[in-house]
A and B are shown apart, each in its own frame.
Chain A
Amino acid sequence: MNAPLRRVGVVVIVLFGMLFANLNWIQAYKADEYRTSDYNGRVQVAEYERRRGNIEAGGTALAVSKETDGELRFLRTYPGGAKYAHVLGYKPVNLADTGIERSENDFLAGTSDQLIANRIKDMFTGDRTAGGNVLLTLSRRAQDVAYDQMRTNNRGVSKGAAIAIDPKTGAVQALVSMPSFDPNPLASHSTSEASKAYNELEQDPQRPLRNRALAEVLPPGSTFKMVVAAAALENGIGKDTNIPAGPSYTPPTSGEAITNAVPSICPQSEVTLMRAVTDSCNTGFAKLGVQLGPDVIKEKARQFGFEQEDLTVGRLGEGGQPVAASRTGDMQNPDGGADPAALAQSSIGQRDVRMSPLEGAMIAAAVANQGSQMRPYLVRQLLGPDRTTVYDPAQPRELRRSVSREVAADLRDMMVSVVENGTGRNSRINGYTVGGKTGTAQSAPDRPDHGWFIGFAIDSNGEPVSAVCVLLEEAGSGGSAEAARISGQIMRAVIADRGGR
């Protein structure tokens, strides 16, 4: 019986060889895949072993990690609740992270290349120091006002967005999206609680998780007229040049007439460009658009930032939250020639024109900043775990030059006229030069109009302080006036936060 016993020995060696080969496959070949698998809780536990850095604005921590007794050592909490939700995002245990929590994850978690020195130090001391801190550009006062004013707006609108940026640097001063949500339950260590909270938000028809300030594009209505006006100024039309207007305009090939908001607006056959902007004369701009042609308008819109698909807001130059591209849409016939009807409607910000609230603020900012559009950003600087080492302080960068200084000056005068004499009176601020443009955009035939306002404030030294855009979705008539009022409040808060510069 020794021969079969020896063969059994060989069988055993074969069986163990299979085990050995399989363990090699798992622990050597597939190791990295398993180690980094989404299902691997070890990654998570290890991540929560280190205190995640703060996200701060104006000296206040908006996202902090608290030590717990649980298996996951640190709980992420958001003291500001819903107010900062769309800026900060959230860092859930079992879902995808969003916002700054996502774009600055490496630095906050302490795994960034920039923090390599800290990790080497940890290796010797055996400690697990905290991750780095992210300091935001937000003005807490402006954010407070923007959030409160949007939530309690006079039109009772539940959806919308407000964004304010510093025209000289591009730093975001306030960013609010309505409705908002409380990120705290999403960061709960109880994954069932977090999933439940997430599913409720996800299924809410108001879509509170959507960052409307950056990701929503809607017809801009009359705010788009500033783009057309800029194109006109560059094509031989002065701000005091008379342009054709009238109570009604029917483009050559279309039966649909364009009229003004009310009969009292530019009923005469000709008005100055200044007047047309101030009173938001639809017929004047429709005719102007047809006269200029689609290529000129599209190009001007592009120079203000339309069609840019890769813009992100976060750290300057890299990463951050993506911004939905604003679009001018098609203004041509199928044969390639200009479609006057489409062109006329597009020129007053209807038809296929779509703009994000950030883009609105960037147009206003370019006008206020002498034609130069700065790259928007949210991260002012990164602070090491020890809070003394500063990484990546933001160096503001020009994104593009939208218009020349001269054209910018004319546009600024026209927008100031809108606030002084026209539809944007609600945004006036004592001691500051405020300019703006209202917009009322048809959403759908059976839906109330959207109310827009884009604007800026310039101090007594001629330095721009803030540029804003407020959108109130389906606000109906009076929506743009309310948007103008809220814009004024936000800019006032920015000024107050700077110590009334």
Chain B
Amino acid sequence: MTAAATPATSPANAGERSGVRLARSRRNAELSLLLLAMALVAAYGAMVEANVLDTVTPTFWVPAAALTAVFLGMHLVIRFLAPFADPALLPAVALLNGLGVGFLHRLDLARSAPEERVDMATFAGTGGRQLAWTLISVILAAGLLALMRDHRSISRYAYTLGLAGIVLVMLPAVLPASISEINGAKLWVRIGSFSIQPGEFAKLALLVFFAYYLVRKREVLSLASHRFLGIDFPRGRDLGPVLVVWVISLLVLIFEKDLGTSLLYFGMFVATVYIATERVSWLLIGLVLFFGGAYLAYVLGEAVGGPFANFYVRAEIWLDPFAEPYDSGYQLVQGLLALGTGGMFGAGPGGGQPLLLPEVQNDFIFAGLGEEIGLFGLSALLVIYLLIVERGLRAAIAVRDSFGKLLAGGLAFTLALQVFVIVGGISGLIPLTGQTTPFLSAGGSSLMANWLLVAVLLRVSDAGRRPVTGVGGKVNRPSGGPPEQLHGAPTEVIKP
């Protein structure tokens, strides 16, 4: 973040000129980084065309320009609605989103007949649809920023959101397979040709609930009752919520055949509990329960099959993907071969053969990209993800209320976990589970949910970086004052 930035002098912050320290909004840094990111996206598009079409069309810049317009709009919204938000978040996310659109457009080029390639409409194909989804997602994210002027305001709807989250998670499981199952995973709600993955939104809703619940109960949960092997364990009845969520995540695993989502929810919960209680014992309990559950599912899958069989198969593929290279292991094997073929430097954008990869536009987009941009390119992408996550965590550290800390920390960690689960899955580090790659994979639900997540992080970072003036003006209200929820929380009375 070395770009030159001028001290904030935006009209919204006029009152801060008399502040204790000169606040730096760094909005101009955001703008420069955003333009740099969009220049990279345009260059990527040109390289793809040069490789796939043997020529760069005069309209190669159109998708990049459309994205630039969308993101510049978001930049303006941030300038006015969250002027102190972290300046690295939007450019980083925009770069990932832009490369995703570019890669999906590249897949469209490969899929279409040679004569149709040169004049493909901007919004045609998967890439065009992703472009449209980006527009909608960014508008929704801007809308969320406008509605939620203080992140604590959503804690009012915590129980509603928690319930909605559980309903969203369970929805595909109870719906008939004809409208909920795609490629063996029951994760969808399909209405005509339109399909959404409600679980993507459940992630956000559940996290708001977790953050709210844990902030209220953190004192109870951090109470130690038993000491065993030098670790403080909570009392049995306080384990209740963890066990409930663990069971729900296992149910998700069983009925929706989706280990990735259950791992994500469970990891999300354990991480927020840990952040709230600061007790390592919760981490240990969480890990033991998760690995115990996973191992049990593996054993049951081998012994009784049924709903566990899918998990057993996936574990077997992970242990030896080349055992059945044309059958069950096909996807993972092809992913590994794509990554290996890419090698250190890759075949160049548009130079690979991503269509050999099943589900390259969804789960395997990282492998498809890896063939073309190589180890160096993928490492750069990982660094960008890491940047977003660490910026999210930094926002959590900077913000002054517990709810905000938990919310931002939980969201950032969930994003990290999702990247870990899918990238680890396609590269054979962990068993492969169906997950989208945030901001890259094709799909409206995923893109929209992740942009909403970014909006929340922007809002929290704005609150955290906003200077404390002590004047108590309207501008400083979100970050000022003690976390009132804790005081008003009906904490359980513990009888020793």
- Given contacts A16-B416, A20-B379, A22-B427, whether A40 and B397 have CB atoms under 8 Å apart is no
Min CB–CB distance A446 → chain B (angstroms): 44
B356 pairs with A41, CB closer than 8 A:
yes
A15 to B389, CA, bound (A): 12
Complex: A20 Cα to B381 Cα, angstroms:
11
Per-residue 0/1 for B324-355: is the Cβ within 8 Å of any A Cβ (1 yes, 0 no)? 01100000011011111111100000001101
Contact across chains for B339 and A34 when beta carbons are under 8 A apart: yes
Contacting pair B340 A34 (CB below 8 A): yes
Distance of A23 Cα from B427 Cα, bound (Å): 7
- By a CB distance below 8 angstroms, the chain A residues around B409 are 1, 5, 8
Measuring CB to CB, which residues of chain B are less than 8 angstroms from any residue of chain A?
54, 271, 274-276, 278, 322, 325-326, 333-334, 336-344, 352-353, 355-356, 370-371, 374-375, 378-379, 382, 385-386, 389-390, 393, 396-397, 402, 405-406, 409, 412-413, 416-417, 419-420, 423-424, 427-429
Contact of B413 with A8 in the complex, beta carbons under 8 Å: yes
A34's partner among B341, B413, B419, B429 (CB-CB below 8 A) is B341
27 A-B pairs with C-beta separation under 8 A: A1-B275, A1-B409, A2-B397, A3-B278, A5-B396, A9-B389, A11-B413, A12-B386, A12-B412, A12-B413, A12-B416, A15-B417, A16-B382, A19-B419, A19-B423, A19-B427, A23-B427, A26-B339, A28-B375, A30-B340, A31-B341, A34-B339, A35-B340, A39-B326, A41-B334, A41-B356, A45-B353
Query: Whole-angstrom distance between the alpha carbons of A391 and B375 in the complex?
Result: 40
Decide: B275 and A9 in contact? CB cutoff 8 A: no
Kindly state whether residue A13 has any CB partner on chain B within 8 Å.
yes
A27 within 8 A of B: yes
Q: Which of A6, A22, A35 contacts B424 (CB 8 A)?
A: A22
Collect the chain A residues with CB atoms within 8 Å of residue B417's CB.
15
Which A residues are CB-close (under 8 A) to B428?
A: 22, 26
Q: 0/1 per residue, A152-165, Cβ < 8 Å to B?
A: 00000000000000
Q: Does A18 contact B (CB under 8 A)?
A: yes
B271: chain A residues at CB < 8 Å are 8
| Interface residues of A, Cβ cutoff 8 Å to B | 1-6, 8-9, 11-13, 15-16, 18-20, 22-24, 26-28, 30-35, 37, 39-42, 45, 71, 126
Tell me the minimal C-beta distance from B467 to chain A in angstroms: 19
**In contact, B344 and A8 (Cβ under 8 angstroms):** no
Complex Cα spacing A149 to B396, Å: 88
How far does the Cβ of B435 sit from chain A's closest Cβ, in whole Å?
Answer: 13
Q: Which of A8, A15, A22, A23 contacts B275 (CB 8 A)?
A: A8
Q: Please give, as numbers and ranges, the residues of chain B lying within 8 Å of A40 by CB-CB distance.
A: 337, 340-341
**Chain A residue with minimal CB distance to B398?**
A2
**Interchain CB contact under 8 A, A1 and B382:** no
Question: For residue B333, which residues in chain A have a CB less than 8 angstroms away from its CB?
Answer: 39
| A45 partner, pick from B336, B356, B419, B420, beta carbons under 8 A | B356
**Residue numbers in B under 8 Å from A28 (CB-CB):** 343-344, 375
* Bound Cα distance from A19 to B367, whole angstroms: 13
Q: Inside 8 A of A42's CB, which chain B residues have their CB?
A: 337-338, 341, 352-353, 356, 371
Set B340, B397, B420: member contacting A26, Cβ < 8 A: B340
- Contact between A22 and B429, CB atoms less than 8 A apart: yes
Name the residue of chain B whose CB is nearest to the CB of A13: B386
Cβ contact within 8 Å between A19 and B336:
no
* Distance of A19 Cα from B274 Cα, bound (Å): 23
Beta-carbon contact of B420 and A19 below 8 Å: yes
B-chain residues with CB within 8 Å of residue A30 when the two chains form the complex: 336, 340
- Residues of chain B lying within 8 A (CB to CB) of residue A126: 54
Complex Cα spacing A1 to B393, Å: 11
- Compute how far the CA of A22 lies from the CA of B378 in the bound complex, rounded to whole angstroms: 12
Contacts of A24 in B (CB 8 A): 375
* Bound CA–CA A20/B375 (angstroms): 9
Provide the bound-state CA to CA distance between A20 and B382, in Å: 8
Closest A residue by C-beta to B376: A27
**In the complex, which residues of chain B have a beta carbon less than 8 angstroms from the beta carbon of A18?**
420, 424, 429
Output the nearest chain A residue to B215 by Cβ-Cβ distance: A1
A40 vs B382: C-alpha distance when bound (angstroms): 26
Bound-complex Cα distance A41 to B355 (A): 10
B148 CB to closest chain A CB (Å) equals: 21
